[in-house]
Every structure is written in structure tokens, then in C-alpha cells.
Amino acid sequence: MKWSHSIGRIAGIELRIHYTFYILLAFLAITFQTVGGPAAAVNAVAFILALFGCVLLHELGHALAARRYGIRTPDITLLPIGGLARLQRMPERPAAELVIAVAGPLVNVVIAGALFALPAVEWRTPEWEALGEPGTGFLTRLAWVNVILVVFNMIPAFPMDGGRVLRALLAMVMPYARASRVAAGVGQSFAVLFGLFGLLAFNPILILIAFFVYFGAQQEAQAAQIRHIGKETPVAEAMADKLDTLPEDATLEDAAEAMVRTLQHAFPVVDGDGRLLGVLTRNDMISALRSNRRGAAVSEFMQRGVPDVGLDASFADAFQKMQEAETKVVAVHESDGSFAGLITPETVGELLMLDSLRPDADRPLWR
């Protein structure tokens, strides 16, 4: 993920911290420093770090459960809004998704249970206003925060774990794509409720969560639709194949001309044998043209190492590569290795549109 840096590895999984997380820490430190002095600031920061330690263990719960089903987790990123375990792919069977989704909150159940077993931890709900007061009820607050994590994550709304549990349960009795849409619809209904409640209670955090849930649900449903259509669609049918290519020695000037002539969004750059060397997107070209070196070779500015699939792959395979590599283009090659076509956001969008126009399309229940 962009704007994040690595802090090490656990069980072969890279741990990353998003830079905005430091903004959250700084914000809390400054706020509590002004209200209660340095001790309050240290206490508040220590509490947030302990809380995110629990969030990290939650994500590790998902990752290690996924590993049981042969799914790798390349990295876990901590953001101010929580943790994000990037699984290499979605589990195929609903039962696996159910186990992976439940494993995260289960970790917090265990942590809360262990903390409540300590004599120093009280059962009554803590006074949250005392967050900055050194020492008082640190562990009690941590125990309750884990309870909140469980309840919040198990709300049956995408993209929370509860939404995945709901989809997995629904997918046991109905097609996967429809189960996803129902779960996304429930998620968006919850988001609207959060948003309304946030507006009425003047709670900006709740409004932020509402947006996060609403768009998360939409994205999840779309990804499920792509996986669903993609399995039956050969990549050859979905790719853009009538593309103008650029030779290795083409200049930016040539590329700019080709862009105006064809309105193409991405240009494959190929060698003499027709093999792909890289891809020059419209954005690459615009930033390159700013450098004002029209005579420079496109190979200086193109993206190299574009992930690729063979012509016999399904669209779902290509889409998975796109997600794994976090790129916007995937190349398709012929059996002899020469360039055949590109999968770009435009081709993905077209495929989704064509699918929704199908007369027998499985209509969404509500939006």
C-alpha cells in the first residue's frame, strides 16, 4: 500500500504502518498534552499503541486462518481506521471464508477474556473521559475496547468481518454473486443508519465510518461480480487487443502523436519480436511530457514488470493478478510469448457493463 512503510515481519507476513497513523498519534499526544500534561499524553499514546497491538493480533488471526486454506497474506497494514490484512486471494468455499472471517474477532474475544480474568480488571464499563489519566483502569479500558472491537466487527455489514460471515452463510444456500449483493445491501443499509445517526448526534467519526462502510460494501460487491463473471469469461474475450503498439525506440513525441490519433489509454511497448517490454499509460505520458524532453525514448518512462497471463487464462485470473500486484494493467501474451492484449480498468468497466445489460442478469435486490 502506498504511503506506508514496513516495520518488520511476523510469520512471514510483512507489517506495514500507514503514515496517517502517525498523524493520529501526534494528534492524540498534542490534545492530551494540552489537557493533562506530558503524563496524560504518554498514557493516551500508550493506550492507542496497545489498542493497535490488539488490532494487529486480530489481523494475524485472519492471516493464520487463511494460511490453513493455502492462502498467503503478503502484508498487514495498520491505518488509523484499523488494520488491513491483504489476502492473496479470496477463499473458494464459503466454509473457508466463514472460518477466516471469524478468526479475527475470535482473537479479541480471547484477549478480552484473558484481561477480564486479571484481578486488576473491572467488569463495570470504564470512564472513557479518563483516557489520559495515568494508570487508572488502563487494562480495564483495553479489555472493554476488545469487546467493542468484537461487536463492531461482527456487525453484519460489508466490509466488516460480520459482512463476510453473512455472505459465507448466504453463499451456502444461494449463488455466490447474489449472496455478495445481499450482504453488500445489508452493509449499505447499516451505513445509511450510521450516517443518519452520526448527523443527528453530530458525531463526525460515525459519519466517516458510514462512508467507509458504504463504499467498502460497494467495492466488495463489485469485486465479487468481477470474480463471478470472470471465471466464465476467457481473458481473450475481455482484453483490449486492437491496440497500437510502440517500438522500443519510439520517442515521447511519437507516443503523444499516437495518443491523439487513437485515444488509447495505455500503449504496449514491444521489441522486434513482438514481446512486451513495458506499458506506457496516459498518466505516465503526461508526467513525462512535463519534463519537456520530447525526443526522449518511451522506454525511459514506461512501467516495466507488468504482470501477465497467457491467452488461455480466464478473466478472473487476470483480475487476481491485477489485485495482487496492485497495478492497473495486466498484459496477455500468446503461447509463443508475444504480446496479445491488455486488461485495463476500461476493459474491466466494459465487461461489468455488458454483464449488467444481459437480459437474464441476476438483478440486485436493492441498492
Rg, C-alpha atoms of the chain: 24
Q: How large is the greatest C-alpha to C-alpha distance in the chain, in angstroms?
A: 75
Which range of residues in 102-110, 117-125, 228-236, 264-272 is near Zn ion by CB under 5 A?
102-110
Which range of residues in 161-169, 187-195, 323-331, 354-362 is near Zn ion by CB under 5 A?
161-169
Strands 13-18 and 308-310: unpaired
* Residue partners of 36: CB distance under 8 A and separation at least 6: 132, 133
Other Cβ atoms within 10 Å of 45 Cβ, number: 18
Please, what is the minimum distance in Å from the beta carbon of residue 55 to Zn ion? Answer: 9
| 105 versus 278: smaller Cβ distance to Zn ion | 105
Selected binder of Zn ion within 63, 87, 94, 104 (CB under 5 A):
104
Please, what is the minimum distance in Å from the beta carbon of residue 153 to Zn ion? Answer: 5
Distance (Å) of CA 281 to CA 2, 249, 272, 341: 19, 17, 21, 14
| 54 versus 184: smaller Cβ distance to Zn ion | 54
Q: Residue 222 has which C-alpha cell? A: 463489485
Selected binder of Zn ion within 77, 98, 111, 161 (CB under 5 A):
161
Quickly list DSSP for 171-232: HTTS-HHHHHHHHHHHHHHHHHHHHHHHHHTT-HHHHHHHHHHHHHHHHHHHHHHHHHHHHH
| 84 versus 240: smaller Cβ distance to Zn ion | 84
| 62 versus 181: smaller Cβ distance to Zn ion | 62
Which range of residues in 159-167, 180-188, 216-224, 292-300 is near Zn ion by CB under 5 A?
159-167
Which range of residues in 37-45, 98-106, 118-126, 137-145 is near Zn ion by CB under 5 A?
98-106
* Residue partners of 28: CB distance under 8 A and separation at least 6: 41, 44, 45, 48
Residue nearest to Zn ion (CB): 104
| 149 versus 170: smaller Cβ distance to Zn ion | 149
Strands 339-343 and 308-310: unpaired
Q: How many chain residues bind Zn ion (CB under 5 A)? A: 2
Q: Residue 107 has which C-alpha cell? A: 482473537
Which range of residues in 17-25, 103-111, 122-130, 279-287 is near Zn ion by CB under 5 A?
103-111
| 161 versus 284: smaller Cβ distance to Zn ion | 161
Residue 268 in the binding site for Zn ion (CB under 5 A): no
Please, what is the minimum distance in Å from the beta carbon of residue 118 to Zn ion? Answer: 25
Please, what is the minimum distance in Å from the beta carbon of residue 124 to Zn ion? Answer: 27
Helix (H) or strand (E) run with residue 306 in it: none
Cis peptide before 159 (omega within 30 of 0): yes
| 161 versus 308: smaller Cβ distance to Zn ion | 161
Q: Residue 347 has which C-alpha cell? A: 476493459
Please, what is the minimum distance in Å from the beta carbon of residue 151 to Zn ion? Answer: 13
> From CA 305, how far away is CA 318, in angstroms rounded?
15
Q: Where are the alpha helices (DSSP H) in 69-81?
A: none
| 63 versus 298: smaller Cβ distance to Zn ion | 63
| 104 versus 187: smaller Cβ distance to Zn ion | 104
Residues contributing to the site for Zn ion (CB under 5 A): 104, 161
